[in-house]
Structure 1
């Protein structure tokens, strides 16, 4: 019983992955085809290039997000909506700000999002924004 308890202390639970911590720490971070690293804990990190006052820097950041195609999202940011509907970003931002009470606007804290399907129905009915 004590051996099992001691053995369980060496395990870390990661959804979909359960390995011995010591073995995992011995491994070097593995590099995948699109500049991602898998760390000892199983978290994915990617290399990001930043420009800071003319200096190019590379750093590893967490990549815990996953990409959802824009046409499958429920709500879009102003930038995504402007690109998706081919409308100038400043024009769309001004339009959304002036129509905050319309059903296609979603307030997420201080952020305004555009409900994709409702906005498409609005665009179908109106030929000007």
Structure 2
């Protein structure tokens, strides 16, 4: 895909929301399982090594699905997504951070997250 309009990026974010919610849950489960499997780790009701392997595999599948949607993944903890766009002819990335209710931020492509501004 080329550049997203704001409307198209918001529609894509809405379409991806179930996948994002699952990714966040799987990430938390995998983290808890990894901690339990570490030397001296506390047991968890989530399971053990087979469950950790399953979570890790599912996490990878979910990330691949995001990549196939032509969304830039800038972070996974917290989840940070960018949608290539332009504002007034300037290349920008529409920016969604885990916990944001909507796609309401952008930053110039050359500035990164530190240049994040409200739309």
Structure that is richer in strand per residue: 1
| TM-score of the alignment, normalized to the shorter chain, above 0.5 | no
Select the structure with the greater relative contact order (CA < 8 A; seq sep ≥ 6).
2
TM-score (norm 2): 0.23
User: Between Structure 1 and Structure 2, whose CA radius of gyration is higher?
Assistant: 1
Structure that is richer in helix per residue: 2
